[in-house]
Amino acid sequence: MAEPILVEVRRNGLVEAVHRVHAVAVHGGEVLEAAGDPALTCFMRSSSKPLQALPLVRARDDLPEDELAIACASHHDTREQVAAVRALLARGEATEDDLELGSQEGRPPEPIHNNCSGNHAGMLALCRTRGWRAEGYRLPEHPVQQACLEVHAEAAEVEPDALTTGVDGCGIVTFALTLERMAHAFSRLESLPGGDRVAAAVRARPDLVGGPDGVDFLLMRAAPGWLAKGGAEGLLCAAGPDGLGLALKTEDAASRAHGPALAAFLGRLGVDVPGLARRPVLNTRGERVGEIVTER
């Protein structure tokens, strides 16, 4: 097994922390490159959102890019992002009161400000379209979550009953896969029914999907044709324009290691993203006081 990528956090030249990052790239069902353990299994968390949008786009052909992008989002509660959530709720004939979400620290208490509200609004729109009850849409036995389980199994090419499930931070179901199967699922996204529409929306509106400090956003801005979605606990999944899928996981869940690790790993695949290779450490004054880079 190849060694994980080591990412160092340095301040005035002194190493303060080291993060171990596992990564795998898949194309055509074959592993092209790996660092660390491709069989490492974890929950996909918010990296699932482009897959969770598939039942919605298969049910509706009237979703504009902004509403589809916000259904795939872990948003930062900007005015434009919240407006897109409201538009998607209206399209699904749902209200903010229908969102089965809690509040998040540092944000207003209303559920629409939760970073997963777009994802949940998409699930409510799916309920309306399919004639399913909206109440309890987050629960494992609800048709929405059953549909999400089926598309994860479809994309990863595993049996549905082989998927380990858990409860995500926002209350819906999250699915566990190996990094290799996650990369495989993302490599297949655009070839699946409706996947081309999801991919196009995410690429077109990365500003709705995340925020300007996220590595998924930065990758999509820096590398044309790529789509990416980060997840909690140090996960990042991505897909390239040629059917390449990638999954990357930091052992200690530190997302700050993603940029340098991703730049180093993509470099092995001939993809140059120099803006991610060296990330700054800032103090509360906004001054650069260190850097995050791969080990020398």
Amino acid 114: pLDDT: 97
What b/e string do you get for 84-98 counting C-beta neighbours within 10 Å, with b at 16 or more? bbbbbbebbebeeeb
What is the phi-psi region of residue 270: left when phi exceeds 0, alpha when psi lies from -120 to 50, beta otherwise? left
Looking at residues 65-84, what average pLDDT do you find?
97
Cα gap 122→269, rounded to integer Å:
34
Which is it for strands 164-167 and 279-282: parallel, antiparallel or unpaired?
unpaired
Which is it for strands 244-250 and 14-27: parallel, antiparallel or unpaired?
antiparallel
Amino acid 296: pLDDT: 62
Q: How many helices (H) and strands (E) does the chain have?
A: 12, 11
Looking at residues 230-239, what average pLDDT do you find?
97
- Average pLDDT of the residues of the chain: 97
pTM reported for the whole predicted model: 0.96
Amino acid 16: pLDDT: 97
Q: How confident is the model at residue 277 (pLDDT cuts 50, 70, 90)?
A: very high
Amino acid 286: pLDDT: 94
Element of type H or E holding 292: strand 288-294
Side chain identity at residue 154, one-letter code: E
Residue that has been written with the tokens 């999801």 in this structure? 198
Asked if residue 179 has pLDDT above 90, the reply is yes
- Residue pLDDT, tens place only, 84-136: 999 999 999 999 999 999 999 999 999 999 999 999 999 999 999 999 999 99
Q: How confident is the model at residue 1 (pLDDT cuts 50, 70, 90)?
A: confident
Q: How confident is the model at residue 295 (pLDDT cuts 50, 70, 90)?
A: confident
Q: Would you say 206 and 219 are in contact if contact means Cβ atoms under 8 Å apart?
A: no
Amino acid 58: pLDDT: 98
- Residue pLDDT, tens place only, 37-50: 999 999 999 999 99
Edge-to-edge strand order for the sheet containing 41-43? 41-43, 173-178, 164-167
Task: Report the share of the chain in percent with pLDDT over 70.
Answer: 100
Looking at residues 28-33, what average pLDDT do you find?
97
